[in-house]
Amino acid sequence: MQLLVEKPAGEISLREVARAADVSHNAPYHHFSDRRGLLKVLAERSMADLVAAVREAIEGAGDPRAAVIEGGGAYIRYAVEHPHGFDVIYDPTVCIPGEPSETMAPLIDELEELLSEASVAAGLDGGTGVIGVWGLVHGLGTLCAAGHFTLDAALAASADALTRMLPR
Amino acid sequence: MQLLVEKPAGEISLREVARAADVSHNAPYHHFSDRRGLLKVLAERSMADLVAAVREAIEGAGDPRAAVIEGGGAYIRYAVEHPHGFDVIYDPTVCIPGEPSETMAPLIDELEELLSEASVAAGLDGGTGVIGVWGLVHGLGTLCAAGHFTLDAALAASADALTRMLPR
DNA sequence: CTCCTATGTTGACAGTGTCAAGTAGTGGTG
DNA sequence: CACCACTACTTGACACTGTCAACATAGGAG
């Protein structure tokens, strides 16, 4: 997790982790099945952090509409402040699309449920509407983290788009 | 580009490319500066394809609102149909955020202009509004390509959200 | 005490990115 | 024609990586 702050998951080697822990180059194999096993754990921990950030923002909001906007803002902020962590969460080579994933799945479900509850409370459709909200903040977070526009612009665009998307 | 159809950019090695071209393992260095140099070219070609797909969709639409929705749909469809190409376009390790990028930048500008023209024609704000549209379809495309929901669900959510976002 | 398990070790192997140095063909210039 | 620069390619080497196999050790369960 320390290394993930400085460099993307793709540039973290098992041997480097071993060196940082001051153990032999093969010790990690007694804790992770694979290189992918390590990345999976990094992804799970990052996902837990992301979910916690979004939950906190939603619970701290006043009305349902503000909850969606604040939750979305927290999602975008996490992506920008922890770009490598955010990337590894959704890395298709880490969590294979078809695979149940065992440990990652409940976290994804938790995030979806969080967004779903907030969106429905704000008057959106439980299926299509939630996907729209998730897609919006995910895209803004990704593009913003990649440097295509500033965090302020992303947050403004998110609030603006969500305001238009939510009924009333 | 052939290899990119089958596997993500991160799993394509220079030596593999050399073998596929039936040349020595070092021949690629006379065409690309680096491994990153190769990936950059892959990203540029993919981006050109993406822009072309979006342009075609926008130009084929009837009214301005349909243009935004069709353009967004083409963006999402490209992400799902060419997941590895789509990924490499926005890979932060390929096109470094701060760097001008020389050859990639004009393509990104072209995409933004395309989205901007369509969005403004449909009554959106040229700054915030365009970012919102881009973010929405980008997020839906990314998540859908990662298998979090079906293409149909993504397209429906995109059309629904865009309809709400566009004025009138 | 004995044995198992968790954790760690060293050693080896193939594959990779990259650098250095050398080699054929190709074109233009004197 | 001789010469030269240049492009495309080659072989050879190096350090680094993921991974496998075999071995070591320590602490608790029986």
Q: From A136, which residue of chain B is nearest by alpha-carbon distance?
A: B136
Q: From A142, which residue of chain B is nearest by alpha-carbon distance?
A: B139
**CA distance to partner chain B, nearest, from residue A93 (Å):** 8
Nearest to A131 among B134, B146, B154 (CB): B154
How many Cβ contacts (< 8 angstroms) between chains A and B? 122
* Cα dihedral B103, A142, B52, B54 sign: negative
Stretch A152-162: mean pLDDT: 98
Roughly what angle, to the nearest 10 degrees, separates helices B64-81 and B35-59?
150
Q: Which of B19, B161, B7, B44 is nearest to A137 (CA)?
A: B161
On chain C, which bases lie within 7 A of the protein's CB atoms? 6-12, 15-21
Distance (Å) of CA B66 to CA A148, A167, B21, B138, B164: 26, 21, 43, 18, 13
Please determine, for residue A102, whether its predicted confidence score (pLDDT) is greater than 80: no
Per-residue model confidence as pLDDT tens digits over B116-143: 999 999 999 889 999 999 999 999 999 9
> Global pTM?
0.95
User: Are residues A49 and A107 in contact, defined by beta-carbon separation less than 8 angstroms?
Assistant: no
SS3 per-residue string spanning chain A: CHHHHHCCHHHCCHHHHHHHCCCCCCHHHHCCCCHHHHHHHHHHHHHHHHHHHHHHHHHCCCCHHHHHHHHHHHHHHHHHHCHHHHHHHCCCCCCCCCCCCCCHHHHHHHHHHHHHHHHHHCCCCCCHHHHHHHHHHHHHHHHHHCCCCCHHHHHHHHHHHHHHHCCC
Q: How far apart are CA A156 and CA A144, in angstroms?
A: 12
On chain D, which bases lie within 7 A of the protein's CB atoms? 7-13, 16-22
Residue A70's contacts (CB-CB under 8 Å, 6 or more residues apart) are A57, A58, A60, A61
Stretch B77-93: mean pLDDT: 97
Stretch B52-70: mean pLDDT: 96
Q: Which of B159, B158, B156, B8 is nearest to B82 (CA)?
A: B8
Tokens of B93: 């390790």
A-contacting residues in B 33-62 (Cβ below 8 Å): none
Flag if A132 and B137 touch (Cβ within 8 Å).
no
Which residue has tokens 């298998």? B147
CA-to-C1' distance for B162 and D16, Å?
49
Q: Does any strand C atom come closer than 7 Å to the Cβ of A20?
A: no
Which alpha helices (DSSP H) does chain B contain, by range?
Answer: 2-6, 14-20, 35-59, 64-81, 83-89, 104-121, 128-145, 151-165
Contacts of A154 in chain B (CB under 8 A): 131, 135
User: Are residues B99 and B113 in contact, defined by beta-carbon separation less than 8 angstroms?
Assistant: no
pLDDT band with cut points at 50, 70 and 90 for residue A108: very high
CA-to-C1' distance for B91 and D15, Å?
27
**CA distance to partner chain A, nearest, from residue B144 (Å):** 9
The per-residue pLDDT for A95 is 84
Distance between alpha carbon B22 and the CA centroid of its chain, in Å?
30
Per-residue model confidence as pLDDT tens digits over A8-67: 999 999 999 999 999 999 999 999 999 999 999 999 999 999 999 999 999 999 899 999
Please determine, for residue A101, whether its predicted confidence score (pLDDT) is greater than 80: no
Q: Which of B128, B131, B140, B155 to mutate to test the interface with A (most CBs of A within 10 A)?
A: B131
Please determine, for residue B3, whether its predicted confidence score (pLDDT) is greater than 80: yes
Q: How far apart are CA B29 and CA B15, in angstroms?
A: 10
Per-residue model confidence as pLDDT tens digits over A136-156: 999 999 999 999 999 999 999
Q: Which of A7, A39, A93, A136 to mutate to test the interface with B (most CBs of B within 10 A)?
A: A136
Flag if B92 and A145 touch (Cβ within 8 Å).
yes
Tokens of A9: 């998951």
Q: Does any strand D atom come closer than 7 Å to the Cβ of A35?
A: yes
Average pLDDT for chain B: 95
In degrees, rounded to 5, the angle at the alpha carbon of residue B132 between the alpha carbons of residues A156 and A95 is: 105
Q: By the CB < 8 Å criterion, does B105 face chain A?
A: no
Flag if A131 and B145 touch (Cβ within 8 Å).
no
Which residue has tokens 């001008």? B100
Q: Tell the burial category of A24 from Cβ atoms under 10 Å away from its Cβ (0-12, 13-18, 19+).
A: exposed
Q: Does any strand C atom come closer than 7 Å to the Cβ of B148?
A: no
Q: Which residue is the nearest neighbor of D11, CA to C1'?
A: B24
